[in-house]
A and B are shown apart, each in its own frame.
Chain A
Amino acid sequence: MRTERMYEQPRLIEVRKNVLKQNDVVARSLRDRFRAAGVFVVSLVSSPGSGKTAFLERTLTLLRPKYRVAALVGDLATENDALRLARSQAPVKQITTGTLCHLEAAMVQSALEGWDLNQLDFLFLENVGNLVCPSSYDLGEDLRLVLISVTEGEDKPLKYPTIFHSADVAVVTKMDLAAAVEFNWEAAYGNIQAVRPGMAVLKLSAKSGEGMDEYLGYLAARLADLRQATTV
Chain B
Amino acid sequence: MHELSIAMSIVEVAEEEAERRGVQIDAVHLRLGALSGVVKEALLSCYEMVCEGTLLQGSRLMVEEIPAVVFCSGCNAERALNSIQLFCCPECGTPCAEIVCGKELEVVALEIRECAPNVCMNNPV
Give the B-binding residues of A (Cβ under 8 A): 1-3, 6-23, 100-102, 104, 132-133, 135-136, 158, 161-163, 165-166, 193-198
Contact A7 B87 (CB under 8 A): no
In whole angstroms, what is the CA distance A183 to B36 when docked? Answer: 30
Which chain B residue shows the least CB distance to A136?
A: B37
Contact B86 A19 (CB under 8 A): no
B residues in contact with A18, CB < 8 Å? 105-106
Are A196 and B110 also in contact (CB < 8 A) when A133-B1, A136-B37, A161-B35 are? no
Which chain A residue shows the least CB distance to B97?
A: A197
Which chain A residue shows the least CB distance to B10?
A: A19
Are A19 and B1 also in contact (CB < 8 A) when A136-B38, A197-B95 are? no
Which chain A residue shows the least CB distance to B114?
A: A8
- If over half of B's interface residues share one DSSP class (helix, strand or loop), that class is named, otherwise mixed; here it is mixed
Which chain B residue shows the least CB distance to A194?
A: B86
In whole angstroms, what is the CA distance A198 to B87 when docked? Answer: 11
B residues in contact with A1, CB < 8 Å? 125
For the complex of A and B, the 4 pairs showing the least CB-CB separation, nearest first, are A197-B95, A133-B2, A7-B113, A6-B116
In whole angstroms, what is the CA distance A136 to B6 when docked? Answer: 9
Which chain A residue shows the least CB distance to B21?
A: A13
A residues in contact with B125, CB < 8 Å? 1-2
Contact A12 B12 (CB under 8 A): no
Contact B112 A16 (CB under 8 A): no
B residues in contact with A136, CB < 8 Å? 2, 6, 36-38, 105
Does B115 touch A at the CB level, under 8 Å? yes
The 17 sampled A-B contact pairs (Cβ below 8 Å) are A2-B125, A8-B113, A10-B112, A10-B113, A12-B112, A19-B10, A21-B13, A102-B2, A102-B5, A132-B2, A136-B6, A136-B36, A161-B35, A162-B37, A166-B37, A193-B95, A198-B95
